[in-house]
Structure 1
Amino acid sequence: MSPFLSTAEKAFLALNRGAVILALAAMACLVFANVMLRFFTNNSIVWAEEVARYLMIYMTFLSAGLALRGGLLVAVSQIHLRLPQGAARLLRTAMLLVLLVFCGWMIWSGLEYVSRMGRQVTPATRISFSHIYRAMPIGFGLLMIHILLVSRHFVTQGRFDADTHEHGSAVGG
């Protein structure tokens, strides 16, 4: 991989991780503040539960690609590991194509949901549900980028953990 692509991939990973960490931190702070406020004053922030729920939705979709790269998603690895090398590469290539088509379809479906939900608003914050449903195409778009970034490593070695240099561990995919 060229130094530019390596640097761009590291920046992409850092931004993706940062977004997930920011969503988790905001959700944790909001829930903690709401619990403390309820405990000490018997009042709560009206919109806290709703916003925390939407942050969790975004966090889930934003972290899918990171989970894939860390070997944290469910995988059936015994089949391609038991095949001869050529057949295993062919099967892994087919698996990647199926994943990419699925991600593309989910992006398209997510955009359909976004366009349909433009007039409905959330109960407490009164923001458009289209902003909430936008997590789906964004998350699957990020997942597609992650898949493309690790595809060569997956096809040749059968693993998604192309960023082991940052974590020091190798988790099979």
Structure 2
Amino acid sequence: MLNRIERALVAANRWLLIVLLLAMACIVFTNVVLRYTTGDSIVWAEEVARHLMIWGTFLGAGLVLRFGGHVAIDNLHQAVGAARARWLRGLIVAGIGVFCLAMTWFSIQYVWATRFQTTPATDIPFAYVYAAMPAGFVLLFAHLLFIARGYIRDGRYVESDEMDAESAASL
């Protein structure tokens, strides 16, 4: 049951990222073509592309963590014994978990504080843009929970035929 939930979360997260990147690429491409063919550009294109990039960054962070794509310094893990390395990895997971939960809390407060401010071109509340932060940190925390046991025990991340740490980092 838990594996099915994990697979569904990963699949939904990936497809959402694909749709966001596709929309962003289409908007930017259309704007560039219009600018060079007609001399006019879409007024809201740059703003919407930026907001999609913000959402993509926060929603993609959990997938990057899952496959080991974030920057990490693992020399200390390799220098100490197996038991100390497990303890150190447990401490790292706990620290990342606390950070994610704290950032979720503070980003919810930030979203609430910006709910009446609107974007200049599209006139939508900034809260919709900044809602990417709590959504991203909740997803990051969920992905952390799914990989925590394997990472603490063996120091490994999730392996996939489609994704490795280097590919994940390039997202």
Does TM, normalized by the shorter one, top 0.5? Answer: yes
Alignment RMSD (CA, Å): 1.4
1:74 deviation in Å? 0.5
Contact residue 31 and residue 48 of structure 1 kept, 8 A = yes
Q: Residue 81 of structure 1 contacts residue 158 of structure 1 at CA under 8 Å; is this kept in 2? A: no
The yes-or-no answer on 1:110 pairing with 2:107 is yes
Q: 2:62 aligns with which of 54, 65, 71?
A: 65
Q: What is the CA distance between 1:41 and its match in structure 2?
A: 1.1
Q: Deviations over 1:41-66 (max 9, x none)?
A: 11111100000000000000000011
SS at match of 2:40: coil
Q: Please, which of 148, 158, 162 is the counterpart of residue 167 of structure 1?
A: 162
In the alignment, is residue 138 of structure 1 matched against residue 135 of structure 2? yes
2:93 to 75, 91, 96: 96
Per the TM alignment, residue 88 of structure 1 is displaced from its structure 2 partner at its CA by 1.1
User: Shift of residue 168 of structure 1?
Assistant: 7.0
Distance 2:119 2:143 in 1: 31
Structure 2 partner of 1:86? 83
5+ long unaligned stretches in structure 2: 167-171
CA distance in 2, matches of 1:119, 1:73: 34
RCO comparison, higher one (Cα < 8 Å, 6+): 2
Look up the SS of the partner of 1:150 in the other structure.
helix
1:41 counterpart = 2:1? no
Whole-angstrom distance in 1 between the partners of 2:2 and 2:100: 23
Aligned AA for 2:119? T
- Indicate the residue corresponding to 2:169 in structure 1: none
Does residue 8 (structure 1) correspond to residue 5 (structure 2)? The answer is: yes
Inter-CA distance 125–168: structure 2 relative to 1 (3 Å threshold): closer
In the alignment, is the contact (CA less than 8 A) between 2:47 and 2:121 conserved in 1?
A: yes
**How far apart are 1:170 and its partner, in Å?**
7.1
State the match for 2:148 in structure 1: 151
TM-score where L is the length of structure 1: 0.91
SS in 2 for 1:96: helix
Instruction: Indicate conservation of the 8 Å contact 1:27/1:55, yes or no.
Output: yes
Higher mean C-alpha deviation, range 24-33 or range 34-43: 34-43
Once the two structures are superposed, what CA deviation does each residue of 1:3-49 show, in whole Å capped at 9, x if it has no partner? x2212211110100111111100000000011111111111111000
Structure 2 match to 1:21: 18
Q: Where does the alignment leave 5 or more consecutive residues of structure 1 unmatched? A: none
Mapped partners of 1:152, 1:18: distance in 2: 26
Question: How many residues get paired?
Answer: 166
Q: 1:92 to 1:24 in 2, by over 3 A?
A: same
Aligned AA for 2:150?
H
Determine the structure 1 residue equivalent to 2:122. Answer: 125
Once the two structures are TM-superposed, the CA of residue 149 in structure 1 deviates from its matched residue by: 0.2
